[in-house]
Amino acid sequence: MPTVEVNNHVHTIYSFSPYSPSMVAYRAWRAGLQAVGAMDHDSVGGAEELLEAGKIMRIGTTVGCEIRTSFIGTTMEGRKLNNPDVANIVYVTVHGIPRRRLAETARFLQPVRSSREARGRRMVDRLNSLTAEYGIGPVDFDRDVYAISQASDGGTITERHILYALCRKIIERTGRGLNLIAFVEGAMGIGLPERIREYLRDEQNPHYLYDLLGVLKGSFLPRFYITPDGEECPPVARVVGFASSIGAIPAYPYLGDVEQSPTGDKLPEKFEDDFLDELFPEIVRLGFKAVTYMPPRNSRAQLERLRAMCRRFELMEISGVDINSSRQSFSCPEILLPEFHHLIDTTWALVAHEKLTSLDARLDLFGKKNPLSGRPLAERIAAYADVGRRIDPAAPELAAKLAPFAGK
């Protein structure tokens, strides 16, 4: 049954996910969502497929990418922001990429993917030196990692691909169930929360590999992790500048202090909350146009403060639940709460921005040549949200006819 829910942050097999872009559109439709967005790491390889699948399913679509950037040289240098792995390296999301600029975006991201693949190969070498003592067969990068990715078709190889390959090797060594639990807790020295232990006891668990992967990401990945270099993490100003130049919307993904990770792969830790008052002026100076966050992940107090900061600095609020595991639901009932209902409006504004900018660069929601550029952000979002809701998903090329301001 249709709902009014939306989700702008679903990963596909072009980064790491159990879902092809077509399956993302189908699962979103099946969950009753009215719009869905693909957000892959360092890749727009699945964007065209999602856009076409959205037409068939008659569901609103947006496409973007997620990229790690360097904050060295900014006022935030030396601090850990939204990246659990290391300071100075910060995730940035690029939303609403116009379809006519996807090829250009793919070229921009290609060196990042190449550098990431080279680092992945080095990490597998380091991993194999650790696991040899456990009697686990070595992970072969080409056979066990590259082959399960979409790297040959513009996709990205992530740390999760490596961990997925490791999970398979562990299961080959121990089988599923109690033997695996004993091996992980004993030989590997990884403590398992009771909830995860119950999942891994169940040998018929359809999410088994993803549950085991989540544990290894939080507790074992640091043992062989290699920090990305400058080629893989370009300067934040370069990424934000590129996103704006193609008519996309660069967004800062707020993580906030984590008490319990919804995906089970982030440890409790402190992030931006202690210096949010310093961070916002800096991201505005850098050219960010939006902040993205996930209502299920943070406390009400965290999000009320974040929303107040977005209003103060006129930053668009974009929401999406990060989906990269088969256990996660496509639904996000939190977005139906009165305090988050505006995130549905901003999603439809994002849909309209992407479709209109694909047709006419002047219709960039944040563009200086936009006919509405002199109006407050809230008014522009309302106007675009109205258009987004009225766009026929099967005929987005007619979007301009629905925008009374388009011909001005």
Q: Confirm whether 117 is domain-assigned.
A: yes
The neighbour count for residue 199, using CB atoms within 10 Å, is 20
pLDDT on residue 65: 98
Retrieve residue 246's tokens.
């193609």
CA distance 405 to 15: 37
Same domain, 243 and 117: no
Tell me which of 223, 253, 270 is where a domain ends. 223
Grouping H, G, I as helix, E, B as strand and the rest as coil, residue 91 is strand
Mean pLDDT, rounded, for 245-270: 79
Contact 49, 21 (CB under 8 A): yes
pLDDT on residue 262: 46
Q: Confirm whether 408 is domain-assigned.
A: no
User: How many angstroms separate the Cα of 69 from the Cα of each of 54, 66, 248, 274, 283?
Assistant: 30, 10, 17, 21, 13
Per-residue pLDDT tens over the stretch 206-221: 999 999 999 999 899 9
* pLDDT of residue 383 exceeding 80: yes
Retrieve residue 296's tokens.
């299920």
The set of residues, in sequence order, having a beta carbon less than 8 Å from that of 183 and lying 6+ positions away, is: 134, 170, 173, 174
Same domain, 171 and 121: yes
Number of domains, the chain: 2
Q: Confirm whether 385 is domain-assigned.
A: yes
Distance between start and end Cα atoms, the chain: 39
CA distance 43 to 229: 18
Work out the mean pLDDT of the chain and round it to a whole number: 94
The half-sphere exposure of 91 on its side-chain side, counting CA atoms within 13 A, is 21
Same domain, 24 and 168: no
What residues form DSSP beta bridges with 251? Answer: 93, 290
Per-residue pLDDT tens over the stretch 299-335: 899 999 999 999 999 999 999 889 999 999 998 888 8
Q: Confirm whether 59 is domain-assigned.
A: yes
Same domain, 243 and 370: yes
* pLDDT of residue 83 exceeding 60: yes
Mean pLDDT, rounded, for 159-164: 98
Q: Confirm whether 1 is domain-assigned.
A: no
CA distance 79 to 88: 6
Q: Looking at residue 13, what DSSP letter applies?
A: T
CA distance 68 to 239: 9
pLDDT on residue 263: 46
Considering only CA atoms, which of 13, 108, 35, 18 is closest in space to residue 67?
108
* pLDDT of residue 105 exceeding 90: yes
The neighbour count for residue 253, using CB atoms within 10 Å, is 22
Same domain, 143 and 94: no
Per-residue pLDDT tens over the stretch 121-161: 999 999 999 999 898 989 999 999 999 999 999 999 999 99
Retrieve residue 312's tokens.
């103060």
- Of residues 84 and 247, more confidently modeled: 247
CA distance 76 to 223: 27
Same domain, 282 and 355: yes
Q: Confirm whether 273 is domain-assigned.
A: yes
CATH number, domain of 11, equals 3.20.20.140
Q: Confirm whether 407 is domain-assigned.
A: no
Grouping H, G, I as helix, E, B as strand and the rest as coil, residue 81 is coil
Tell me which of 182, 202, 223 is where a domain ends. 223
Same domain, 162 and 265: no
Contact 27, 38 (CB under 8 A): no
* pLDDT of residue 265 exceeding 60: no
* pLDDT of residue 282 exceeding 70: yes
Same domain, 203 and 120: yes
Mean pLDDT, rounded, for 253-273: 73
CA distance 130 to 151: 26
Q: Confirm whether 124 is domain-assigned.
A: yes
Same domain, 271 and 396: yes
pLDDT on residue 260: 56
Chain centroid to CA 121 = 23
Same domain, 197 and 258: no
pLDDT on residue 18: 96
Same domain, 104 and 115: no
Parent domain of 198: 111-223
pLDDT on residue 331: 85
Question: How do 60-70 and 6-10 pair as beta strands?
Answer: unpaired
Considering only CA atoms, which of 297, 210, 293 is closest in space to residue 262?
297
Same domain, 310 and 362: yes
pLDDT on residue 408: 66
Strand boundaries in 254-315, DSSP class E:
290-293
What residues form DSSP beta bridges with 38? Answer: 10, 63
* pLDDT of residue 100 exceeding 70: yes
Tell me which of 167, 188, 223 is where a domain ends. 223
CA distance 115 to 80: 22
